[in-house]
């Protein structure tokens, strides 16, 4: 069936996100190692984020709260409040940095926009994602914006229903196999995977759990307009 | 024109919210006065929340981050990390408490549900609001859920467009004049105001800025089914 609508993930598909978490996490590691040289900071922070996911959800505010909790726990409360204030500042910096588009994003969107309805479909923190979109300058290209607390078959089904989209007419473009590719293909849609340089552990999918067809992988969004023509 | 759809605010309209912030803020005041007896904790926290609103948006995670920042600032960094850990715990408690419905809510919703399309239209943190709705047991009564980062004419217009609702067929029910009543009436819809026992300062509207008609005030949601019949 002919394509009618294309959904784009935001973080690490249209704009940089995970590298910013990595940069901050590197600073966090350095800070904590001054107080707890033996600690495996990355491992403990990852565990804390997973434990808090059901309470906080995704996003920078959740990440900041998990960093603070990890810092207090790993130092048994010995970390001075002034260092925790530094961590609060990192969170604010992440929330206010300019949105940095990946190469070729704007051109690719402008090439597909005349033929297809464009939707931004992201997960994470509502306020932060709206703010990033506003700062991206891409807002006018999208017919609709869907910010989901989680991307799975159920929530994509909700998008299709609200937007009156048939899965067979829809293609999802994103960097996460778990959030952008697998659920959409399972529902009968198509998908294009564009890997990002870094992927959050949580988003990995074992190769043998991937759908065999219904999706393709490209290395840059610049290839997207061509690929959509013979998907 | 006949009513077709009714929107309900969540926090302090269907379930208790602001009282929980007040309870936590009371504990926060007590904690800080041990370290900074002269400080006007409530005033400084309110200023911090307003200053951070454009960065964090609404919700419990934002409130928690603002409490932490206020605590560090008011004590000039003298507060021990163990006390900041207590504040982190308050945030988690607020996010995981059972959703406590206001009296008469479930009965009122069940009375209007056969005749009208029900929508939940709240602002705040996406993850937190979805979680509260899930814990409320009311999810199945709503045809749709809209969680907005801000409630104003523009965002209500977006809801009307996505849901194919004409403003003349719509009534909004909520406790906030600023967020639930004024913008909807301005757009040509109707509104029912149900004041809550506590209102966040930020949601106040001076009497002379209120619309003259198009809305009513009731004292309990139990009156809603009758009021909707002759609105």
SS3 B74: helix
- Give the DSSP H or E segment for B142: none
pLDDT at position B184 is 97
pLDDT in tens, A48-91: 999 999 999 999 999 999 999 999 999 999 999 999 999 999 99
Work out how many CB contacts closer than 8 A connect A with B. Answer: 96
Eight-class DSSP state of B200? -
**Considering chain B, what is the average pLDDT of its residues?**
94
Q: Which residues of chain A lie closer than 8 angstroms to B160, CB-CB?
A: none
| Chain B, nearest residue to A57 by Cα | B127
User: Is the Cβ pair A149, B162 closer than 8 Å?
Assistant: no
Name the residue in chain A with its Cα closest to that of B74: A81
- Per-residue pLDDT, A230: 82
Answer whether residue B31 shows pLDDT above 80: yes
Residue range B169-174: average pLDDT? 98
Confidence bin at B132 (pLDDT 50/70/90)? very high
Residue B200 pLDDT more than 90? no
Out of B85, B95, B125, closest to residue A126 by CB? B125
Convert the pLDDT of each residue in B201-216 to its tens digit. 677 788 788 898 999 9
Signed CA dihedral, B134, B140, B141, B142: sign only: positive
Q: B148 pLDDT band (50/70/90 cuts)? A: very high
pTM, entire model: 0.91
pLDDT at res. B155: 96
Residues of chain A with pLDDT under 70: 201
For the residues B168-175, what does the mean pLDDT come to?
Answer: 97
pLDDT score recorded for residue A64: 98
Rounded to an integer, the average pLDDT of B168-192 is 97
A127 vs B57, B72, B73: nearest CB: B57
Asked if B206 has any chain A CB less than 8 Å from its own CB, the reply is: no
List, in order of start, the domains of chain B with CATH numbers: 5-16+100-229 (3.40.50.1000), 18-96 (1.10.150.240)
How confident is the model at residue A124, as a pLDDT?
87
Q: Look at B57 and A85 and tell me if their CB atoms are within 8 Å.
A: no
pLDDT of amino acid B209: 83
Q: What is the pLDDT of residue A185?
A: 97
Q: Is B84 on the interface with A (CB under 8 A)?
A: yes
In this prediction, what percent of chain A has a pLDDT beyond 70?
100
For CA atoms B144, B222, B218, B59, give the dihedral sign. negative
pLDDT at residue A231, rounded to an integer: 83
Residues of A whose CB is below 8 A from B61 = 56, 61-62, 65
Write out residues 39-78 of A within 8 Å (CB-CB) of B: 55-59, 61-62, 64-65, 68-69, 71-73, 75, 77-78
């Amino acid at each position: 069936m002919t394509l009618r609508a294309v959904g784009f993930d935001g973080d690490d598909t249209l704009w940089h996100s995970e590298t910013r978490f990595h940069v901050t996490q590197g600073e966090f590691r350095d800070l904590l190692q001054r107080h707890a040289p033996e600690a495996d900071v990355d491992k403990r922070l990852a565990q804390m984020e997973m434990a808090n996911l059901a309470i906080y959800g995704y996003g920078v505010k959740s990440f900041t709260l998990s960093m603070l909790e990890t810092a207090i726990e790993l130092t048994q409360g010995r970390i001075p409040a002034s260092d925790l204030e530094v961590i609060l500042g990192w969170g604010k910096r992440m929330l206010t940095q300019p949105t940095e588009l990946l190469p070729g994003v704007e051109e690719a969107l402008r090439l597909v926009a005349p033929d297809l309805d464009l939707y931004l479909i992201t997960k994470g923190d509502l306020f932060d994602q709206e703010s990033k979109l506003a700062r991206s300058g891409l807002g006018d290209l999208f017919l609709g914006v869907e910010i989901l607390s989680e991307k799975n078959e159920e929530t994509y089904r909700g998008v299709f229903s609200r937007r009156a989209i048939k899965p067979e007419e829809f293609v999802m473009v994103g960097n996460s196999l778990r959030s952008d590719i697998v659920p959409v293909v399972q529902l009968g849609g198509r998908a294009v995977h564009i890997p990002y340089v870094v992927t959050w552990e949580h988003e990995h999918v074992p190769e043998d759990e991937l759908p065999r067809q219904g999706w393709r992988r490209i290395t840059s969004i610049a290839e997207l307009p061509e690929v959509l023509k013979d998907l």
